[in-house]
Amino acid sequence: MIVFFYLYLLTWNLPMKRENYTVVSEFFFQGFSSFHEHKLILFAIFLTLYILTLAGNIIIVTIISTDRHLHTPMYFFLSMLSTSETMYTLVIVPQMLSSLIGQSHAISLAGCATQMFFFITLAINNCFLLTAMGYDRYVAICKPLRYTVIMNKKVCAQLVWGACSIGLLVAIIQTPSVFSQPFCGKEVAHYFCDIRPVMKLSCADNNLHDIITFIISSLVIVLPMGLVFISYILIISTILKIASSEGQKKAFATCASHLIVVIVHYGCASIAYLKPESENTKDQDQLISVTYTIFTPLLNPVVYTLRNKEVKNALHRAFSRKPLFILYS
C-alpha cells in the first residue's frame, strides 16, 4: 500500500510543479493503430491465447500443489514461475484486449505507473526464477548425492524470495525515476506502459536516464542469463562423462524443457531491451512485445506439459480419478 500511495503522489503532484509545462494527467495508447482493419481478428487471436495461457498455468500450479509426486524443488520453482507468469499477463493483456475493441485507450498517470511497476517486478522475477531453476538442474545432475541437502525447503524459499526482491527493488527505483519527469506528450506508441515508450513523452533530456535504463536492463537480463548458461556448461560437461547413452539421454531430458523456455525467454528479452533504440520500427517493436507478453507465458505450460513425463503422468492421475460421489455410491 505504501508503494501504491507513493506512486500516486509522485505521478499526480510532480507534473504540477513544472509550471512551464502543460499538466498531463493521462496517457493514450496508440495500440495496434497500424492494424486498424484487423483489430477484431487480433482480439480473437489474443483472447484465445490469453485464455489458454491462464488455463495452462493454473492447471500446472494446481497439479503441482495437489500431486505429492511433484513436491520437489524443480516443480516448486515451476509453480512459482507459472504463478508469476499468470500475474504478469493479468497486468498487461486485459488492457491490451480492451484497447482493441474499446473506443477509449486512455490510462491515468497513476494507473500507468502502477502497470509499469508490476510489469518490471514480474518480468525481472521471471528472469531470476529461471536462473533458480537452472541452479536446481545443476545441483541435481552435477551433485546428485547432495541434492536433497543443498536444495532444501529453506534454500528454495530464499531463491524465490531473492528473485522477487530483485524485481521489487528495480521497480521501486525505475518507476519513480520515469514518472518524476515532466511530460509533454500524451500518446504512448505502445499498448502498455513500458519504460521506453513512456520516456519518449518526457520534455526533459533523457540521455542519462536511457543509459541507466540500459545498464539496469543489461544487469537483470545478462546476469541471470549468464548464470543459466554457466550452469548448463557444467551440466553438459557432467552429462558427457556419463558412461551409458541411456543415462545421458535421461539427463538431457530433465533439462530440455527448461532450456527451451530459457532460450525463448532471454532471447525475446534481449531483442526487446538490449538492441539499439532506433533499430526497429514501431510495428516491429510491438511484434517483439507481443512475443514476450503473449507467446512466452503460454510457452511455459505447453513445453512443460508436452515434454515432461512426470507432469503428463500427474495430469493423467488427476483426470483419471473418480469423483467422490462415484467412489462412495
Average pLDDT, the chain: 80
Cell matching residue 235: 551440466
Cell matching residue 316: 493423467
Q: Which residues contact 241 (CB under 8 A, 6 or more apart)?
A: none
CB 277 within 8 A of CB 196: yes
CB 139 within 8 A of CB 146: yes
Over range 307-321, report the average pLDDT.
Answer: 71
| 3-class SS of residue 191 | coil
Alpha-carbon separation of residue 296 from 152, 221, 260, 282 (angstroms): 29, 15, 11, 20
For the ranges 7-16, 109-118, 156-165, 306-315, which has the lowest average pLDDT?
7-16
Over range 92-105, report the average pLDDT.
Answer: 79
Partners of 27 in the β-ladder: 107
pLDDT, tens digit (0-9, with 9 covering 90-100), for 18-47? 445 556 778 888 777 666 677 888 889 999
Alpha-carbon separation of residue 213 from 171, 178, 195, 255 (angstroms): 11, 10, 8, 32
CB 160 within 8 A of CB 80: yes
Can you tell me the distance from the alpha carbon of 80 to that of 93, in angstroms, rounded to the nearest whole number?
Answer: 20
* Alpha helices in 180-281, H assignment, sequence order: 195-199, 207-239, 245-273
Can you tell me the distance from the alpha carbon of 25 to that of 8, in angstroms, rounded to the nearest whole number?
Answer: 12
pLDDT, tens digit (0-9, with 9 covering 90-100), for 259-308? 888 888 888 777 777 776 655 566 667 777 888 888 888 887 777 776 66
Q: At residue 51, what is the residue type?
A: I
Domain edges within the chain:
33-306
CATH superfamily, with its number, for domain 33-306: Rhodopsin 7-helix transmembrane proteins (1.20.1070.10)
pLDDT, tens digit (0-9, with 9 covering 90-100), for 146-185? 999 999 999 999 999 999 999 999 999 889 988 888 888 8
